[in-house]
């Protein structure tokens, strides 16, 4: 069961409405474990870094909320992808990969 609603306003910001009817404009999703568990433990953070809502598992959320959160995360996060390693300057740190 979802205890909040999520939508975009006219300016494209995420607006969270909690069970008490309070609205928080400009919330941002933050992953707790972006590499190990990217769909689990997502905090919806409002101004000042305060948590407005918590998502245990994004896969269990309604499709509309899941789409909004995923879209916002995709626009904010960057995960580099290493395609190949040609050489390593040393096997101890610090080292340079090329």
Quote the CA–CA distance of 23 and 17 in Å, as a whole number: 4
- In this structure, is residue 81 part of a structural domain? no
Count of positions (residues) in the chain? 98
Q: Is pLDDT at 51 greater than 70 in this prediction? A: yes
Domain span including residue 40: 4-76
Please indicate, yes or no, if residue 20 is contained in any of the structural domains: yes
Residue 29 in any domain: the answer is yes
pLDDT for the residue 82: 85
Residue 95: inside a domain: no
Q: Does residue 51 fall inside a structural domain?
A: yes
Query: At residue 1, does pLDDT exceed 70?
Result: no
Q: What is the pTM of this model?
A: 0.76
- Residue 28 to residue 46: CA distance in whole angstroms: 7
Q: What is the pLDDT of residues 32-41, one digit of tens each?
A: 998 899 999 9
Query: Which helix (H) or strand (E) element contains residue 68?
Result: helix 63-76
Number of folded domains in the chain? 1
The reply to whether 69 falls in a domain is yes
CB 15 within 8 A of CB 4: no
Considering the domain boundaries, does residue 87 fall inside one?
no
């Amino acid at each position: 069961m979802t205890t909040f609603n999520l939508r975009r306003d006219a300016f494209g910001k995420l607006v969270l409405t909690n069970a008490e009817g309070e609205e928080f404009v400009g919330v941002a999703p933050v992953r707790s474990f972006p590499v190990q568990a990217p769909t689990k433990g997502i905090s919806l953070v409002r101004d000042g870094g305060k948590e407005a809502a918590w998502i245990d598992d994004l896969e269990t959320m309604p499709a509309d909320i899941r789409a909004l959160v995923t879209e916002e995360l995709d626009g904010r996060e960057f995960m580099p992808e290493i395609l190949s390693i040609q050489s390593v300057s040393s096997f101890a740190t610090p080292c340079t990969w090329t």
